[in-house]
Amino acid sequence: MSDRDPVHVLHPEEAWGFLRSHEFGRLAFHLVGEVHIVPINYAVDGERLVFMTAEGSKLFGVTANPDVAFEVDEVAEERATSVICRGRTRTLEGQAAYVVERLPVRPWVDTPKSIVVAIEVDEISGRRFDLTRPWMRDLPTG
């Protein structure tokens, strides 16, 4: 057994860098007494996250209760990374909504999404894990 810790805490700057290098994550929000998790594509704007949506349960949930959590994960070979943000949503309207014109955030699915929402991040944490996955050695190759 190694004395080396396989769990590495990311500095907030590293966590933001990780978020900037990705564009797809999961948004957790409250809706009528339940927690919902949905995939969204997003962009980083300073120290907030921006996404586009349409009328529906996601918009209703983040408007009725703006406390949300957001997570992005990546698993690659011998390493996994996870970044979690907690914050509050705010619908951007008028001039503020034009932020999407300078960000790489566009709907991935060809459905109309014209409402711009920002997650004002209050807390960010990240971890990087050195994976051993010993069961992978037992898989047949071919």
Contact assessment for residue 88 and residue 119, using Cβ atoms and an 8 Å cutoff: yes
Each residue's pLDDT tens digit, 95-114: 999 999 999 988 788 888 99
Instruction: Name 71's Cβ contacts closer than 8 Å, sequence gap at least 6.
Output: 25, 26, 28, 82, 83, 84, 85
Band of the pLDDT at 132, cuts 50, 70, 90? confident
- Assigned token pair, 134: 């010993």
Strands (E), 1-142: 7-9, 24-31, 34-41, 43-45, 48-53, 67-76, 79-92, 115-130
pLDDT above 70 (res 140):
no
Q: Judge contact between 45 and 103, C-beta under 8 A.
A: yes
- Pair 132, 7: CB distance under 8 Å: no
Q: 27: how many CB neighbours lie within 10 A of its CB?
A: 24
Nearest-CA neighbor of 87 among 118, 119, 52? Answer: 119
**Predicted pLDDT at 77:** 81
pLDDT in tens, 3-46: 688 999 999 999 999 999 999 999 999 999 899 999 999 999 99
Which residues, 6+ apart, have CB-to-CB distance to 8 below 8 Å? Answer: 127, 128, 129, 130
Architecture of domain 7-131: Roll (2.30)
